């Protein structure tokens, strides 16, 4: 076997083990009894350590160097795969194995504590565990920063979105900070001057909501032979391309939240299912970072399934499912419901206009925690001040304040920016898809997502990690990542 072939064999094992970890994480959030928390933390820590030992094996550096010498014999896909192998190796060798194990154990412990503490609105109960997580995150960030020649926060970003840097994010987010407050105010004022939103009432039971979600996710292209839908505290997507696990959560009086949760996670699942099968378990065969992953979920949730065409298709199905009747269930009122813009507490329930403000808050706070400028104990106060400054919303408790998201309690620092970066990429991609094929919007109006999915398969999903984020976007849309398409989309939908 050549050096490259040896690396492929080794990375295949790593890819399979990563899939095992994905399913274990899903089980912990969905099926595992509370008493299994300690054992699961041990299992995940051991798995993380095993993967770390494999990628940092003493001969890895020599194999990578030897594979470089074989470069002329490698295809474009193989060369990209080698590039991604090297990136993973650089990240892994920067961090000692005991820190990897400690990080995994601390994340598992803190996340399980967060689940019960959030229900009781008891931030103090989780402070020591979160302090441990933040301390370990800072150690890991510094170790990677020293090895990779990056700032600590950039080192964290690179793990979620290869090549993404804070300087690029700050440029895009600075533009957002300039136009977003005025835009939010204009949209809210315009909606206040329009027809009143009629409250939707009906038999929106959990069973009915699930039936609606399953029907819509099937229309989007979700194949239940290769995935499943369940319930969790926080909607998420996990698993592997041939076994995608997605979740949502239900409220009897808010069916739109569960439906949009299903649609959002289905977007993630469709991306996973569309990844190149020829490169399964290889680094080049995985999704191109979390900005692109979030672009696929938000493209479905915000761009496609809040469009007038989709709501016109879905309205009769909603009436049938929930036994709805009367003016409140007419398409025009349902469209106003889906386009309602309001300053709110909860990120996952926010509309697409105010949502970026929620991300700006989290970006500012996690940057400060990583830099050591914000103590965990001071997080609730900083959260209250920040949300009031960005959205004018007052936070009355920590449950719906700094404890509403799972990310930090599970050790995910550097992830949050990808949500809004993904929204911007989604706007670019959806505009390009709709412009290139009139059948995209026409299909959505009939509940036929095949034209859209075909375009995404060709321009995004099948590319895996062959290209960088900006190369992928430029290839598909003609431009690198930016805020212009998102701003144009929002102004067209809400002010046009």
Distance CA(121)–CA(400), nearest Å, equals: 8
Distance CA(114)–CA(410), nearest Å, equals: 9
168, 265, 301, 366: the catalytic one is 265
53 is catalytic: no
Catalytic positions are 265
């Amino acid at each position: 076997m050549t050096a490259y072939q040896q690396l492929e064999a080794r990375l295949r094992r790593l890819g399979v083990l990563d899939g095992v970890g994905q399913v274990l994480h899903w089980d912990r959030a969905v099926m595992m009894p509370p008493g299994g928390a300690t054992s699961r933390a041990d299992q995940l820590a051991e798995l993380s350590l095993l993967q770390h030992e494999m990628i940092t094996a003493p001969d890895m550096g020599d194999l990578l160097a030897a594979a470089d010498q074989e470069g002329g014999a490698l295809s474009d896909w193989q060369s990209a795969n080698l590039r991604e192998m090297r990136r993973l190796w650089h990240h892994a060798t920067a961090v000692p194995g005991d820190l990897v194990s400690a990080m995994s154990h601390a994340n598992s412990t803190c996340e399980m504590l967060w689940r019960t503490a959030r229900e009781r609105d008891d931030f103090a109960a989780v402070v020591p565990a979160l302090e441990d997580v933040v301390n370990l995150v800072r150690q890991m960030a510094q170790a990677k920063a020293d090895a990779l020649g990056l700032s600590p926060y950039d080192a964290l970003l690179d793990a979620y979105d290869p090549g993404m840097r804070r300087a690029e994010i700050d440029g895009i987010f600075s533009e957002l900070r300039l136009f977003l407050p005025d835009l939010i105010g204009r949209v809210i004022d315009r909606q206040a001057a329009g027809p009143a939103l009629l409250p939707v009432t009906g038999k929106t039971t959990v069973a009915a909501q699930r039936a609606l979600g399953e029907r819509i996710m099937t229309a989007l292209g979700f194949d239940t032979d290769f995935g499943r839908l369940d319930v969790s505290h926080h909607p998420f997507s996990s698993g592997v391309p041939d076994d995608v696990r997605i979740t949502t959560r239900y409220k009897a009086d808010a069916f739109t939240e569960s439906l949009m949760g299903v649609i959002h996670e289905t977007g993630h699942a469709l991306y996973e299912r569309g990844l190149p099968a020829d490169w399964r378990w290889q680094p080049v065969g995985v999704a191109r970072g979390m900005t692109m992953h979030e672009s696929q979920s938000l493209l479905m949730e915000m761009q496609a399934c809040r469009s007038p065409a989709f709501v016109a298709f879905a309205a009769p199905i909603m009436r049938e499912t929930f036994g709805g009747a009367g003016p409140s269930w007419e398409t025009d009122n349902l469209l106003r419901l889906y386009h309602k813009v309001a300053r709110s507490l909860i990120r996952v329930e926010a509309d697409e206009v105010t949502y970026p403000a929620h991300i700006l808050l989290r970006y500012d706070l996690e940057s400060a925690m990583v830099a050591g400028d914000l103590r965990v104990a001071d997080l609730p106060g900083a959260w209250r001040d920040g949300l009031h400054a960005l959205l004018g919303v007052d936070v009355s408790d920590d449950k719906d304040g700094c404890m509403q998201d799972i990310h930090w309690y599970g050790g995910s620092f550097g992830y949050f920016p990808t949500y809004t970066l993904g929204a911007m990429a989604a706007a670019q991609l959806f505009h390009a898809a709709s412009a290139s094929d009139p059948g995209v919007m026409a299909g959505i109006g009939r509940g036929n997502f095949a034209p859209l999915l075909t375009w995404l398969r060709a321009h995004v999903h099948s590319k895996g990690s062959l290209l960088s984020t900006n190369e992928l976007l430029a290839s598909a849309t003609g431009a690198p990542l930016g805020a212009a398409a998102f701003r144009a989309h929002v102004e067209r939908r809400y002010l046009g």
